[in-house]
Amino acid sequence: NVIEAVGFSPDGEIIASSSWDHTIKLWHGYTGNLIHTLCGHSAWVTCLAISHNGQLLASGSADQTIKLWMLKKASLQTTLFGHLGTVNAVAISKDGQLLASGSADKTIKLWNLATGKLSATITGHSASVESLTFSPSGQILISGSADKTIKIWLLKRDRYLQIPKKPLLTLKGHGHAVKSIAISPQGNTLISGSADKTVKIWHPGSGELLYTLTDHLGAVTTVAISHDGATIASSSQDNTIKIWKFE
């Protein structure tokens, strides 16, 4: 069946893949051997995120749930309910305290990973939320949507999480759904890929559009940026992966 998402554990030992067959498979990162198959979702598994300490795997599904798995034990920890549509995106903050989920119900939900409780629901997009990423500091959450926009949200996390009532910035420029977003580890470069066949490069602090890359012939489904922030990768429905270098 179609593979929807792939993720690496930080140590490179485990590759997780999710599929339309409702499962998540864990593979040995060096041998390629299948280690475990995680079953529990009742519909296709759309998205994955692995915590920075490599202990937790989060999965989102068309069954409208998020499941949290203990990665090394390959066991289900808990199931999170709350969305009223397919969960399209999940992201875990670097400190491992927050999980963000984005859904076809147009909302973003923030979950306390220590308790498994819902902390906040963020509204503002006018169509399905397709992609999410946290800034390296965890103080900023960035969302991409089928409404063609990217929104940047400030998360005030003192003793209590304060719900942002509106975004810090709304980035406009894509002609179709924003399918994937990534931010550099330095936090100074934001990349977006869209069904409009383009990759855009933004300054996340100002929202300024820096570059538009137009070489793909189909919808851009995934973007990623290297640890040094110097290389971008993009995949597309044109059946290609393109590698871009900053000069």
| Tens-digit pLDDT profile for residues 131-181 | 999 999 999 999 999 999 999 999 987 666 778 889 999 999 999 999 999
- How does residue 3 score in pLDDT terms, banded at 50, 70 and 90? confident
d(CA 169, CA 44): 33
Helix, strand, or coil (residue 168): coil
Q: How many domains does the chain have?
A: 1
Q: Is the pLDDT of residue 204 over 70?
A: yes
From CA 178, how far away is CA 198, in angstroms rounded? 10
The CATH number linked to 152 is 2.130.10.10
Per-residue model confidence (pLDDT) at position 159: 65
Please give the average per-residue pLDDT across 118-124, as a whole number. 95
- What pLDDT was estimated at residue 227? 87
Does residue 42 form part of some domain? no
In which domain, by residue range, is 240 found? 82-245
* Residue-averaged pLDDT of the chain: 94
State the Cα–Cα distance between residues 205 and 30, nearest whole angstrom: 38
18 found inside a domain: no
Residue percentage of the chain with pLDDT more than 70: 99
Pairing relation of β-strands 140-145 and 129-134? antiparallel
Confirm whether 218 is domain-assigned: yes
Cα distance between residue 157 and residue 163, in whole Å: 9
Summarised one tens digit per residue, pLDDT across range 25-76 is 999 999 999 999 999 999 999 999 999 999 999 999 999 999 999 999 999 9
Q: According to the model, what pLDDT value does residue 155 have?
A: 92
**Measured distance CA(89)–CA(60) in Å, rounded:** 7
**Distance between CA 109 and CA 178 in Å, rounded?**
18
Within a domain: residue 204? Answer: yes
* Contact predicate 181/132, CB 8 Å: yes
Q: How confident is the model at residue 12 (pLDDT cuts 50, 70, 90)?
A: confident
Handedness of CA 142, 26, 8, 196 (dihedral sign): negative
Q: Quick check: is 51 in a domain?
A: no
Residue 202 lies in a domain: yes
- Please give the pLDDT value at position 164: 84
Residue 59 belongs to some domain of the structure? no
Amino acid at 211: Y
Cβ burial of 160 (10 Å; 0-12, 13-18, 19+) is exposed
User: Would you say residue 206 lies in a domain?
Assistant: yes
